Amino acid sequence: MNISDAGARAGLPPKTIRYYEDIGLVTPDRDPNGYRSFSDVDIHNLTFLSRARALGFTIEDCRTLLALYQDKSRASSEVKKLAEGHLDEIERKIADLTSMRDTLTHLVHACHGDDRPDCPILKGLGGGGATDDETA
**CATH code, domain with 62:** 1.10.1660.10
| Domain match, 2 and 69 both | yes
| Domain match, 135 and 100 both | yes
Q: What is the 3-state secondary structure (H, E, C) of 61-116?
A: HHHHHHHHHHCCCCCHHHHHHHHHHHHHHHHHHHHHHHHHHHHHHHHHHHCCCCCC
pLDDT tens series, the chain, 136 aa:
999 999 999 999 999 999 999 999 999 999 999 999 999 999 999 999 999 999 999 999 999 999 999 999 999 999 999 999 999 999 999 999 999 999 999 999 999 988 888 898 999 888 876 555 544 4
| Domain match, 59 and 113 both | no
The H or E element that residue 29 is part of is strand 29-30
Structural domain including 62 reads 1-73
| Domain match, 54 and 103 both | no
Report yes or no: 122 and 104 within 8 Å, Cβ to Cβ: no
Q: Which residues pair with 133 in a beta bridge?
A: none
Here the contacts of 108-115 (C-beta below 8 Å, separation 24 or greater) are: 109/135, 110/134, 110/135
User: Cβ atoms within 10 A of the Cβ of 60, count?
Assistant: 9
| Domain match, 80 and 68 both | no
| Domain match, 63 and 20 both | yes
The H or E element that residue 36 is part of is strand 36-37
